Chains A and B, each alone.
Chain A
Amino acid sequence: MTPTMGGNVYNRRPWLSLSETRMKGSDIPSVRRRDILKVTGSVGIAATAGCLNTGGGGSKGSYKIGMVDSLSGSLSAFGQRNKRGKELALSTVNEVGVKDGELQIAVEDSQSTQEGGVSAAQKLVNQEGVPLMVGAVGSGVSVAIHESVISNSSVVQISQNSTSPNLKNYPDLLRMCPNGDTQAEALANLIAEDGHDSVAVSWINNDYGQGIMNSFKSSYEGDIAYNQSHDQGKASYSNVITSMADTDAGAWLFLTYQPEFTTMAQEIYDQGVGEQTDWYGGDSVKGPKVLEGAPEGSLEGMKVVTPSAALDQDNYKTFAENFKSEYGSEPTAWSAYTYDAIVTGALATQAAETFSGNALMDVVRDVTRPSGQKATSYKAAHDILADGGSAKDVNYEGVSGPIDLDKNGDPKAYLQIFTVEDHDYTSSGFTAA
């Protein structure tokens, strides 16, 4: 069925396809050009309309910070948990208060993509006018936001969940979860200790995957028989699986996200090629949805290294109890990072002279560093500051760990190793870095 130049069923001007334009020559180019101008023009107006409304930071006595979260897309499992961490943090902070008022958080969805994240951050910074922004989950998204929105403003950015080693190249891009380098080292050691001298690695084609793969490559001494990236959000990775099975590597390492890994696990099972190999994974391939989606037994023995909260500390236990009574499930380390990101933001607001990006940046690292007096809750830290203490007098110890933001904006790391037994994750020890 070919489109024709005559009227169409909606009785309107036909939209010319590329091929038709070629065939019909240049007798009607003006229509086309005008249409395109019309479209691009209106899109342009829509895009700039948002910039005109540069509102302030909310009403008097309230301090509005922003948050870019993965409410949809590949990382939405993290976003859901983050939301809970955020809500808990907000109620903890507002029970005590910030300065003379309360904390407000404007949340925008990054859709787990760089474009989505950048436009979410633009909205927060340009429209909401927030001086501090928590965001984002994906490392690529965090970096994209930092480069295109944050770096030429004074806004403070604290990533809640990004683990890519690349982020240490952006010292002003702070984060609450440890650098993935430590994870890659732990994985390299683990694979070597298990006696594998050859490994096939499939990593996701973004900053997270690339960063963690580079560190893995420099820490692993054996042979990397398969070293290729795959794209996010594909319906099928069967060609990746077939290629991996084509190598003789005894260990398969997956540095990717949950939906992608679930698809791979299903396809490995479908192709029946996984049983001769031991599987390893980075932090973001572990989750209940993976267990649900992967065929029963297919993951048996898989080892996953994840950053871990300070599970043995009292403040974590309190946090976990509150989380459980509120939401009926155990918190993830990721929700603990989000919690700490919000609390750290609130403490910086309390410590800063003015509620502006520059003033916040001056104090945000100090409230977490070991120079000051230890405080394991928002209230304790807030009280030190409210009694006239400076940012250097406080050392906030978070529910996720000691934090101690260094000059690269990275915290100290705790890692936990999980093994899949009977289609469930069982802790098989901790490793520190």
Chain B
Amino acid sequence: MSALLQYLVNGLVFSSIIVLGSIGLSLVYGIADFANFAHGDTMTVGAYGALVTFGLLGGVGGSILGLPVAFYVALVVGMIVAAIAAVLTHYLVYKPLDVDSIGLLITSIGVAFVYRALLQGYFGADYQNYDITRSGPIPAIESALGVSLTVRGATIVVLAGILVLGLHVLLQKTTLGRKMRATADNPDLARVSGIRTARVVVAMWAIGAGLAGAGGVFLGLYSQIDPRIGFDLLLVVFAAVILGGIGSVYGAMLGGFLIGMIHELTPLLGDVGLPIPNTYAPAVAFLVMVAILLIRPSGIAGGEPT
């Protein structure tokens, strides 16, 4: 029983990171209309942005939720750095290019290489950590439920929840959100109705990359940072987005949650007579994705306007 709960907790933390990555990828697909292969590396950019900031600030200030205040500052800076990188790339690369969506897709692979090479050139290929002491499981939760959840795990889940909620409010309650939804649904009509879609695209890049940056920072906080962390996660993030219904933000949230959970719960199949090695956890997640796509070809939330 405690093993089951433990797998669920592991899955919850892992899913939170995937969800943050998935949202941005889906936003870009919905509005800019191409599959952005540089998205994983945008996460990495955010992680390094926070690493540098945290290194500069050190242990300044007290702590919130068991983590130093400097980490939260670093998180925000990491998100901003990722957003700036994406917006710059939009102006320098994607916008001037006169190619179709496949051309943009291929270009984004090149952009991914550039991000990664720059990070690796500057920071080296070795893995690094945020200099935050690991605390081990939170005793209260461990004695009450018999599962171990760390302070950083809990923080990741809580902050991811806040960010997702914030995006929801932004999309549903603000003018910018309405403009974004309109642009995603029908760019021509949006333009005719007076929406400056060019500005919406910039906002979309900033928001999508900012969330990806947060995902990257959490990924680094969860384990460690090296120039490949984002790219290595990209395939899973793509799976999450496709499962949720590509282009749909809420689908991406759900898809990210499901893929992360299935990934972490795979060892449980051994208890029901299907001993599948951990190595195949991504394969199981992908099988479930295929099964769902067979029933709902456009993904769980695909085809429904958001």
Q: Do A and B bind each other?
A: yes
Where the two chains meet, the residues of A that have a C-beta atom closer than 8 Å to any C-beta of B are 1-4, 6-10, 12-15, 17-20, 22-23, 35-36, 38-39, 71-73, 76-77, 79-80, 205, 228-231, 233-240, 242-243, 246, 258-259, 262-263, 266-267, 269-273, 289, 292-293, 295-296
**Chain B residue at minimal CB-CB distance from A290:** B127
Q: Does B217 sit at the interface, judged by CB under 8 A?
A: no
What 1/0 mask marks residues of chain B from 278 to 293 whose CB sits below 8 Å from any chain A CB? 1101100000000001
9 more A-B contacts (CB under 8 A) besides A10-B33, A259-B226?
Answer: A15-B35, A19-B299, A19-B303, A22-B298, A72-B120, A77-B126, A228-B279, A269-B134, A296-B133
Q: Which 4 A-B pairs have the closest CB atoms?
A: A15-B101, A1-B184, A1-B30, A19-B298
A237 neighbours in B (Cβ, 8 Å): 278
- Taking CB atoms, residues of chain A closer than 8 Å to B99 are 12
Alpha-carbon distance between A236 and B263 when the two chains are bound, in angstroms: 10
In the assembled complex, the CB of B230 is this many whole angstroms from the nearest CB of chain A, namely 10
In the complex, the answer to whether A3 meets B30 with C-beta atoms within 8 Å is: yes
B281 lies within 8 A of A239 (CB): yes
Residues of B within 8 A of A263 (CB): 223-224
Q: Is the CB of A228 within 8 A of B277?
A: yes
- Is there contact, CB below 8 Å, between B148 and A270? yes
CB pair B224 A22 closer than 8 Å: no
Q: Are B7 and A239 in contact (CB under 8 A)?
A: yes
Q: In the complex the two chains form, is B223's CB within 8 Å of A273's CB? A: no
| A77, B105: Cα distance in complex, Å | 33
Is A1 a contact partner of B267 (Cβ separation < 8 A)? no
Q: Given A10-B33, A259-B224, A293-B224, A1–B306 Cβ distance below 8 Å? A: yes
- Asked if B259 is at the interface of the complex by the 8 Å CB criterion, the answer is no
Q: Are B223 and A243 in contact (CB under 8 A)?
A: no
Compute how far the CA of A73 lies from the CA of B228 in the bound complex, rounded to whole angstroms: 7
Binds A, one of B63-71, B161-169, B196-204: B196-204
CB-CB under 8 A from B6, the residues of chain A are 242, 271
Binary A-proximity of B245-266 (CB < 8 A = 1, otherwise 0): 1111100000000000001111
A228 CA to B7 CA, complexed, in Å:
17
Who on chain A is nearest to B181 by CB?
A: A1
Q: B111 → chain A, closest Cβ, in Å?
A: 15
B17 at the interface (CB under 8 A from A): yes
Chain A nearest CB from B185 CB (Å) reads 7
Measured CB to CB, the closest approach of chain B to A432, in angstroms, equals 32
Contacts of A273 in B (CB 8 A): 148
When chains A and B are docked, how far (Å) is the Cα of A267 from the Cα of B228?
20
Check A235 against B101 for contact (C-beta < 8 Å). Answer: no
What A residues does B201 contact at CB under 8 A?
9
Q: Is the CB of B137 within 8 A of A9?
A: no
B residues less than 8 Å from A17 (CB atoms): 29, 246-247
Chain A residue nearest to B148 (CB atoms) is A271
- Of B32, B142, B299, the residue contacting A10 (CB under 8 A) is B32
- What is the bound-complex CA distance between A7 and B190, given in angstroms? 11
- Which residue of B has the minimal Cβ distance to A2? B247
Question: Taking the complex as formed, is B82 at the interface, i.e. its CB lies under 8 A from any CB of chain A?
Answer: no
Q: Give which listed residue, A39, A233, A271, A293, contacts B106 with CB less than 8 A.
A: A39
Residue from B14, B31, B153, B305 in contact with A9 in the complex, judged by beta carbons closer than 8 Å = B31
**Is A6 a contact partner of B186 (Cβ separation < 8 A)?**
yes
Contacts of B129 in A (CB 8 A): 292-293
Interface residue ranges, B against A (CB under 8 Å):
3, 6-7, 10, 13-14, 17, 26-27, 29-35, 94-95, 98-106, 120, 124-127, 129, 133-134, 136-137, 142, 148, 150, 152-153, 180-181, 183-189, 197-198, 200-201, 219, 222-224, 226-229, 232-233, 242, 245-249, 263-267, 270, 277-279, 281-282, 293, 297-299, 302-306
Which has the most chain B C-beta neighbours within 10 Å: A4, A18, A292, A295?
A: A4
Contact A239 B33 (CB under 8 A): no
Cα of A76 to Cα of B229 in the assembled complex, Å: 14
Q: Is the CB of B248 within 8 A of A1?
A: yes
Bound-state CA distance A9–B33 (Å) is: 8
- In angstroms, Cα B242 to Cα A345, docked, is 50
Is the pair A15, B181 in contact by a Cβ cutoff of 8 Å?
Answer: no
Bound: A19/B241 CA distance, A: 13
Q: Are A231 and B282 in contact (CB under 8 A)?
A: yes
**What are 21 A-B contacts with C-beta separation under 8 Å?**
A1-B181, A1-B184, A2-B302, A3-B247, A12-B100, A15-B101, A72-B227, A229-B279, A236-B264, A238-B264, A239-B7, A239-B278, A242-B7, A242-B10, A243-B267, A259-B226, A270-B148, A272-B136, A272-B137, A289-B127, A295-B136
* Residues of chain B contacted by A240 (CB below 8 angstroms): 278
CA distance A293 to B263 in the complex (A): 25
Q: Beyond A12-B101, A246-B3, is A6–B305 a contact (Cβ under 8 Å)?
A: no
Residues of B within 8 A of A7 (CB): 187-188
- Residues of chain B lying within 8 A (CB to CB) of residue A18: 242, 297
Residue contact B10 to A15, C-beta cutoff 8 Å:
no
- Closest CB in chain A relative to B194 CB, distance in Å: 15
| A9-B197, A9-B200, A228-B279 given; A3·B304 CB < 8 A | no
Q: List the A residue with the shortest CB-CB distance to B105.
A: A15
Most chain B CB neighbours (cut-off 10 Å) among A14, A71, A240, A271 = A271
Residue of B nearest to A109 (CB): B125
Contact (Cβ within 8 A) A4 B278: no
Contact assessment for A235 and B233 in the assembled complex, using a CB-CB cutoff below 8 Å: yes
Known contacts A12-B101, A15-B100; A205 and B34 CB within 8 A of each other: no
